[in-house]
Amino acid sequence: MRFHSILCAALLVSFGCASPQHRAVERINTRCPIMPDLDIDGATFVEWNGIRVGFCCAECIERWDRMNDEMKRAAIERAAQSAQGL
């Protein structure tokens, strides 16, 4: 029993806590990169180049998937500028 407890504790430390609710996932944006006038919905996102990119709706992910990396970077920048009121 003690070995099992030690193994579980070691795994939790190794993975920074196994439960997803304990992991803080940082989103890169607050505005949709496809429709930068709209806020992200908080539930629709993709992982891209190690970051979480949020969207206003699932249809925007379909458009995102058709973009190359350069277009995606530009879209995120436009969304950031829109969030800052630029």
pLDDT tens readout for residues 17-31? 444 444 455 668 999
Could you tell me the pTM of the whole model?
0.66
Task: Print burial letters for 29-54: b (CB count within 10 Å at least 16), e (below 16).
Answer: bebbbbbbeebbeeebbeebeeeebb
pLDDT at residue 28 in the model:
82
Average pLDDT of the residues of the chain: 78
CA 12, 14, 18, 20 dihedral sign is: positive
Contact 47, 54 (CB under 8 A): no
Residue pLDDT tens, the chain, 86 long: 443 434 344 333 334 444 444 445 566 899 999 999 999 999 999 999 999 999 999 999 999 999 999 999 999 999 999 888 86
**Residue in 59, 8, 14, 7 with CA at minimum distance from that of residue 33:** 59
